[in-house]
Amino acid sequence: MKRRTFIQGLAAFGVVGAMPLPLSRAFAASAASPISVKDLPALEGDLTLYLGRGEGGLYENVLQSIQKKNPKLNLSIRRGPTAALANMIVAEAKAGVKRADLFWAVDSGAIGLVTDAGLAKPLPSDLEAQLQPQFRYPGWAPVTGRIRTLPYNTKRLSKDQIPDSIMAIADSDLSIGWAPAYASFQSFVTAMRILEGEDKTAKWLKKVQKRSKTYAGELGVVMAVERGEVDIGFANHYYTLRLKSGKPDANLDLAFTNQDAGCLVNASGVLSLTDNPNAMNFMRYLLSSEVQSYLAREAYEIPLIQGIDQPAGLPALTDVSPPKIDLTQLADLRPTLDLMRSSGVL
């Protein structure tokens, strides 16, 4: 969706130019009534956002629309790789320099680097209450989620031929597409390392490598599965949904594992590094019904506030069985990279 169309969509809901409700009403979110942009207070003054790269123009559309609605907001944006920006925020804090007011990261591991350093401001209770209970954290707000999946070629396989255990995939005879250098895959391996231990994870990597084809990214993995180059792949859910949206007859569907790293639900997230109330109010815009619905509809990401529909073609979170894991633990990436290198995967 183009920026102009998104802004027109907000205008159709009475958002652009609308007067906000009193704060006590605007922040009274419930599952039945997520907060609308039109009910939020205006943003004024200076804010600096560090924005991790991800989803290209879709995140930019959101930011430009927030600025369009708030003409007195002077929003400065520093863009870069999510992990690099997280390290920069920590380094700046150690040097006694504060440049960022907000950090919007495309991966919860990067969020963990900042929260572990004690730099994130606590969330107010009303903002935390908007989130689905399993995605509530004291120092940051998940914005959208993504599920690890097993995209498979429907001409080569039926769903019941695919193991529902990620560990069992290594012992199957399936051909596999993967992107080990891709950040989302490395977060997935980090989750496996935490849940299964280093020895089992190393053995899994070595077994899978023998039957895998390597691709530069997970969109490439999904495209290879659809072409029939491999039986299955490892990828975030939205690559499959995006491909199928442009090619409804694609030879492609999604399978899920059960209560292991193979169906990890990871998240992008935002946190405040300042006591400036504008920062928390900016976070409320990202959790508004309009922004959440837009990212679900256009990016096929999973809305994590209560009361917003899931992307079309994806089961409800209640119908999948992700592992129980604190997403900020995914910040511990160095042991994962060392393990992948020693296993010959990187």
What are the pLDDT digits (tens) for 116-152? 999 999 999 989 988 988 899 989 999 999 999 999 9
Q: Does position 7 have pLDDT exceeding 80, yes or no?
A: no
Q: What confidence score (pLDDT) does residue 55 get?
A: 55
CATH hierarchy code of domain 3-145+267-314:
3.40.190.10
Reported as a pLDDT band with limits 50, 70 and 90, residue 213 is very high
What are the pLDDT digits (tens) for 109-118? 889 999 999 9
Looking at every residue in the chain, the average pLDDT score rounds to: 88
Q: Dig out the tokens for 245 from the structure.
A: 């949206």
Distance in angstroms (rounded) separating the CA atoms of residues 268 and 65: 19
Q: What is the CA radius of gyration of the chain?
A: 20
**Contact (Cβ atoms closer than 8 angstroms) between residue 315 and residue 140:** no
Q: Does position 30 have pLDDT exceeding 70, yes or no?
A: no
Provide the residue ranges of all domains of the chain, joining segments of one domain with +: 3-145+267-314, 146-264+320-342
**Contact (Cβ atoms closer than 8 angstroms) between residue 39 and residue 26:** yes
**For range 46-52, the mean pLDDT:** 95
- Nearest CA to 280 out of 271, 267, 288, 290 is that of 271
Distant-in-sequence, close-in-space partners of 51: CB < 8 Å, separation ≥ 6: 59, 63, 77, 78, 79, 80, 85, 104
Exposure letters 209-241 (e unless 16+ CB within 10 A, then b):
beebeebebbbbbbbbbbeeebbbbbbbbbbbb
Q: What confidence score (pLDDT) does residue 227 get?
A: 97
Q: Does position 17 have pLDDT exceeding 80, yes or no?
A: no
Q: Does position 330 have pLDDT exceeding 60, yes or no?
A: yes
Least confident of 44-48, 108-112, 233-237: 108-112
Distant-in-sequence, close-in-space partners of 9: CB < 8 Å, separation ≥ 6: 1, 290, 294
Reported as a pLDDT band with limits 50, 70 and 90, residue 56 is low
Largest CA distance in the chain: 61
**Contact (Cβ atoms closer than 8 angstroms) between residue 255 and residue 149:** yes
Q: Does position 22 have pLDDT exceeding 60, yes or no?
A: no
* Architecture in CATH for domain 146-264+320-342: 3-Layer(aba) Sandwich (3.40)
Alpha carbon 6 to its chain's center: 21
**For range 36-55, the mean pLDDT:** 89
Least confident of 16-20, 34-38, 192-196, 207-211: 16-20
Tally of CB atoms within 10 A around 177? 25
